[in-house]
């Protein structure tokens, strides 16, 4: 599956919508199967069926809680990395004052360009190819900032160069923070886990319809409510894992970068 197709599915919430439709379909299929089972002599839900139903819904609850918790942790990790990235950029910008005055304007200009590039990197609509190009440009700017600071520190007389050299540590930390934040976008749950949760949700809908079919008590209100809640839960989990394209976003964290840029 290409990145663009994946973004198309997630940005329009087609996966939760498909899950909703399939769940309602599975309820109907389960109802028909249960109705046939009753016609063959099953007057009520057997003890074995009840045990299996409880076990499957218990497993579904466990998987849902695990996946949601895992997605929430990744979301918090991404948010913390953005804040850390913003702090390191601010530190580097302030540390430029340790260098020779003649070298400061060029480095400050590059840092402004660097931050502008970072701010526009994840502007919607998200384009993976554009992000890769911007990331490559950011790498070049990082190298230019490092080389400019290193040359300036080397040209600073002793012992002032010992103080000026602190900016190199700050730049190194800034680069590490940027790389960590970039790699965080690839922090995803294993496809097998998401697929298993998807299938398990459909099985739960099938069982719900089957039980209603045996008991000849079709309650579409509860069936639709169950389908809506599960689909919405699935949508939240996906949005937590893809926070730049869904209902849940990182806009508040990104504002830290904008505030720093305004103060430059």
224 pLDDT more than 80: yes
Whether the CB-CB separation of 201 and 23 falls below 8 Å is answered with yes
Higher pLDDT, 241 or 110: 110
Q: Work out the pLDDT band at 43, boundaries 50, 70, 90.
A: low
> What is the predicted pLDDT for the residue at 164?
82
Q: Report the percent of the chain where pLDDT is more than 70.
A: 92
Q: Considering only CA atoms, which of 89, 82, 84, 103 is closest in space to residue 141?
A: 89
Task: Please tell me the least confidently modeled range out of 9-13, 22-26, 205-209, 218-222.
Answer: 9-13
> What is the predicted pLDDT for the residue at 202?
93
Map out the domains of the chain as residue ranges.
Answer: 3-21+56-262
| Average pLDDT estimate for 182-193 | 83
Residue 2 Rama label (left phi>0; alpha psi -120 to 50; beta): beta
Whether the CB-CB separation of 200 and 22 falls below 8 Å is answered with no
Q: Considering only CA atoms, which of 209, 214, 213, 218 is closest in space to residue 45?
A: 214
70 token code pair: 């895992």
Q: Work out the pLDDT band at 9, boundaries 50, 70, 90.
A: low
pLDDT tens string 155-174: 888 877 778 888 999 999 99
> What is the predicted pLDDT for the residue at 245?
77
pTM equals 0.82
Q: For 103, phi and psi rounded to 5 degrees?
A: -95, -15
Q: Is 232 exposed, middle or buried (0-12, 13-18, 19+ CB in 10 A)?
A: middle
Residue 96 has what DSSP assignment?
G
The rounded Cα 165 to chain-centroid distance in angstroms is 37
What DSSP line would sit under 105-157, residue for residue? HHHHHHHHHHHHHHHHTTPSSP-HHHHHHHHHHHHHHHHHHHHHHHHHHHHSP
Q: Integer distance in angstroms from the first to the last C-alpha of the chain?
A: 42
């Amino acid at each position: 599956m290409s990145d663009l197709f994946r973004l198309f599915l997630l940005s329009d919430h087609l996966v939760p919508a498909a899950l909703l439709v399939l769940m309602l379909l599975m309820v109907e299929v389960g109802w028909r199967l249960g109705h046939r089972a009753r016609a063959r002599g099953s007057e009520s839900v057997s003890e074995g069926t009840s045990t299996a139903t409880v076990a499957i819904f218990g497993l579904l609850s466990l998987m849902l809680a695990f996946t949601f918790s895992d997605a929430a942790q990744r979301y918090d990790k991404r948010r913390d990395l953005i804040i850390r990235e913003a702090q390191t950029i601010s530190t580097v910008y302030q540390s430029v004052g340790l260098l020779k005055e003649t070298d400061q304007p060029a480095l400050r200009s590059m840092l402004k360009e660097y931050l502008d590039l970072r701010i526009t990197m994840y502007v919607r609509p998200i384009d993976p190819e554009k992000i890769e190009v911007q990331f490559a440009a950011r790498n070049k700017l990082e190298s230019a900032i490092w080389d400019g600071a290193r040359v300036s520190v080397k040209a600073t007389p002793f012992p002032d160069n010992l103080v000026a050299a602190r900016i190199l540590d700050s730049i190194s930390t800034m680069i590490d923070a940027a790389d960590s934040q970039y790699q965080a976008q690839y922090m995803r749950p294993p496809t097998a886990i998401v697929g298993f949760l998807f299938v398990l949700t459909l099985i739960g809908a099938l069982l719900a319809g089957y039980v209603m079919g045996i008991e000849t008590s079709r309650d579409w209100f509860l069936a639709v409510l169950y389908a809506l809640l599960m689909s919405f839960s699935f949508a939240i989990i996906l949005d937590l894992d893809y926070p730049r394209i869904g209902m849940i976003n990182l806009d508040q964290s990104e504002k830290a970068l904008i505030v720093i840029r305004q103060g430059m």
